[in-house]
């Protein structure tokens, strides 16, 4: 098993790069309303498993900070952003936790069984995020339709990580050579070993 | 990447391609189609170059001339079938046009056979199922079919089939990332030249606003950079025939968008019985190609 110790400077650079990638993907979707009536389409959710599985805690932090910066840039910074920050940190972290520690097999989406396990994690993470964000939004904005908002969070957090995130993970792990992290020592575990 | 992963990636590529109509709906008609292709291809190509500079530089050092020629050929084919589709589709309604361009599924195995390459029995079964679906979707509309339009679309399908075969060969020979970057840049240059001829003011002719910029960037990230590169990676591990059959799913996604999206974005589709049965045959054809029945057969023995 190969180990990689990362210096604080490299970790900061990783976080900054990941935040930049988050903003590049998320900002165009904030500028415009692609489908009238659906104000918040977030394909950036596809990056959630990628940030968690390949970058661990720095990745989780970058995802949460990226979301917070987007809130600041588009004038939607409210008290509910605290819940958003927590949910957006915990989302990638859960993928890191599952594939890095809880799963008995290393991360590899090579079989239908493993892909279905990954889909199950996506659904659980989406439920957790929707359960954290929705109550805080309901308190901050009483006029918001509680059920619709919960549904939107679920759709964004399930559809994009499955439809776009899984192929992205496959290419990154199988073709670009990125390796999943393990939780206990923060080193990389080669899924092909 | 194994076969299952390659098939999943191809489904994702097809889904992304089907969303192009939604992204294009956000770009005003005043922006010429060649302008959109030129700008998004250039953005996608430059982003790939920035992200994978070392990889692309190495690929160009080792066999750059052959890679360049392959990139030019693929870009010419790509532009060729897209132009034929654009003109041919004008003679059809949205759904019939979408079903017709799936004809590639049938043409491609025939080209492979002419090149004396083996085609799986499974692929023939899938191709026949998809063809049956296309024919069924035509029932009830036979009198309205435009022959010149049909010939134009079939011509486009032949070029596309040849493009897929050449792309599949190139994906196995070259690194997919430099190949994708090269195709994006060359398509961008070709489209820019045509755009310049048709509209000499080029960038100055566009009334820029944040919506146009955002749409162009979304197209560049998801269709050019992500889908195109993913397609080449997947093609490396799939046969051209299998890839084409999966591409035919685009009709199903288009039908879904046509039925669910607002009329301001996509031309609404009200599917009739023939269309539904046709779509079901296409899904069956895809399932026959994607799913493996071998293991179950062994167990039964």
pLDDT of residue B295: 52
* Interface size between A and B, measured as CB pairs under 8 A: 68
Residue A192 — very low, low, confident or very high, per pLDDT cuts 50/70/90?
very low
Compute the nearest-CA separation of B59 from chain A (Å): 15
Residues above pLDDT 70, as percent of chain B: 92
Whether B297 maps to a domain, the answer reads no
Q: Which residue of chain B comes nearest to A21, CA vs CA?
A: B51
Compute the nearest-CA separation of B137 from chain A (Å): 28
* pTM of the predicted protein model: 0.85
Nearest by CB to residue B211, choosing from A32, A167, A174, is A32
Give the residue-averaged pLDDT of A72-86: 85
- Rounded to whole angstroms, the Cα distance separating A43 from B222 reads 10
Q: Report CB contact under 8 Å: A164, B12.
A: yes
Take residue A145 and report the two structure tokens written for it: 């339709």
Q: What is the mean pLDDT of chain B?
A: 83
pLDDT of residue A39: 55
Is residue B12 within 8 A of residue A120, CB to CB? The reply is no
Whether B39 maps to a domain, the answer reads yes
- What sign for the dihedral angle of Cα A104, A14, B48, B67? negative
Give the residue-averaged pLDDT of A54-59: 92
Count of Cβ atoms closer than 10 Å to residue B65 Cβ: 8
The larger pLDDT score, comparing residue B138 to residue B232, is at B232
Contacts of A31 in chain B (CB under 8 A): 210-211, 213-214
Domain ranges of chain A: 8-27+41-180
- Which own/partner pairs from A178-182 qualify as long-range (CB within 8 Å, at least 24 positions apart)? A178/A54, A179/A2, A179/A54, A180/A53, A180/A54, A180/A99, A180/A100, A180/A106, A180/A107, A181/A53, A181/A54, A181/A55, A181/A56, A181/A96, A181/A100, A182/A100, A182/A101
Q: Report CB contact under 8 Å: A31, B230.
A: no
Strand partners, A188: A181
What tens digit of pLDDT does each residue of A99-151 get?
Answer: 988 888 889 899 999 999 999 999 999 999 999 998 888 887 787 788 888 88
Residue A17 — very low, low, confident or very high, per pLDDT cuts 50/70/90?
very high
What tens digit of pLDDT does each residue of B180-228 get?
Answer: 999 999 999 988 998 999 888 888 888 888 888 988 999 898 988 999 9
Contacts of B22 in chain A (CB under 8 A): 34-35
Whether B166 maps to a domain, the answer reads yes
Whether B277 maps to a domain, the answer reads no
Whether B269 maps to a domain, the answer reads no
For chain B, percent helix, then strand, then coil, each to nearest 5? 80, 0, 20
Whats the size of chain A, residue-wise?
A: 193
Residue B45's domain comprises: 3-117+142-247
Tally of domains within chain B: 1
Contacts of B5 in chain A (CB under 8 A): 109-110, 170, 174
Whether B9 maps to a domain, the answer reads yes
- Rounded to whole angstroms, the Cα distance separating A158 from A181 reads 22
Return the CATH architecture of domain A8-27+41-180: Orthogonal Bundle (1.10)
Whether B58 maps to a domain, the answer reads yes
Whether B286 maps to a domain, the answer reads no
């Amino acid at each position: 098993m190969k180990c990689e110790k990362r210096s604080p400077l490299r970790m900061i650079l990783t976080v900054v790069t990941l935040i930049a990638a988050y903003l590049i993907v998320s900002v165009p979707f904030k500028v415009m309303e692609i489908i009238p009536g659906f104000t918040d389409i977030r394909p950036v959710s596809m990056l959630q498993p990628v940030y968690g599985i390949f970058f661990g805690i720095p990745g989780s932090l970058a995802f949460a900070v990226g979301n917070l910066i987007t809130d600041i840039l588009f004038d939607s910074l409210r008290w509910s952003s605290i819940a958003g920050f927590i949910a957006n940190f915990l989302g990638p972290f859960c993928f890191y936790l599952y594939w890095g520690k809880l799963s008995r097999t290393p991360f590899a989406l090579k079989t239908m069984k493993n892909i279905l396990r990954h889909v199950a994690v996506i659904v659980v993470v989406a439920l957790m995020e929707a359960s954290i964000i929705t109550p805080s939004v309901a308190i901050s904005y009483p006029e918001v339709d509680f059920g619709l908002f919960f549904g939107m969070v679920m759709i964004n957090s399930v559809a994009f990580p499955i439809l776009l995130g899984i192929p992205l993970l496959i290419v990154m792990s199988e073709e670009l050579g990125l390796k999943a992290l393990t939780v206990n020592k923060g080193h990389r575990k080669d899924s092909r070993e | 990447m194994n076969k299952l992963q390659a098939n999943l990636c191809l489904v994702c590529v097809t889904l992304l391609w089907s969303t192009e109509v939604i992204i294009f709906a956000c770009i005003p008609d005043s922006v010429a189609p060649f302008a959109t292709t030129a700008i998004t291809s250039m953005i996608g190509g430059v982003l790939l170059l920035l992200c994978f500079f070392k990889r692309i530089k190495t690929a160009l050092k080792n066999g750059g001339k052959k890679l360049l020629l392959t990139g030019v050929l693929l870009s010419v084919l790509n532009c060729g079938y897209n132009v034929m589709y654009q003109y041919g589709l004008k003679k059809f309604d949205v759904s019939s046009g979408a079903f017709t361009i799936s004809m590639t599924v049938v043409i491609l195995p025939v080209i492979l056979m002419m090149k004396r390459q083996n085609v799986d029995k499974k692929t023939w079964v899938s191709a026949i199922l998809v063809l049956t679906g296309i024919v069924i979707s035509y029932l009830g509309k036979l009198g309205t079919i435009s022959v010149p339009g049909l010939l134009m679309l079939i011509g486009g399908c032949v070029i596309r089939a040849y493009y897929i075969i050449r792309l599949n060969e190139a994906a196995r020979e070259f690194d997919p990332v430099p190949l994708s970057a090269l195709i994006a840049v060359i398509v961008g240059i070709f489209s820019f030249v045509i755009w310049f001829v048709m509209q000499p003011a080029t960038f100055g002719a566009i009334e820029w606003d944040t919506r146009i910029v955002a749409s162009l960037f979304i197209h560049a990230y998801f269709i050019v950079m992500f889908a195109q590169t993913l397609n080449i990676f997947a093609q490396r591990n799939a046969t051209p025939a299998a890839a084409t059959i999966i591409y035919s799913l685009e009709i199903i996604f288009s039908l879904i968008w046509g039925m669910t999206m607002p009329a301001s974005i996509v031309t609404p589709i009200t599917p009739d019985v023939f269309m539904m049965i046709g779509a079901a045959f296409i899904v069956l054809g895809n399932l026959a190609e994607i799913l493996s029945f071998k293991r179950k057969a062994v167990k039964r023995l």
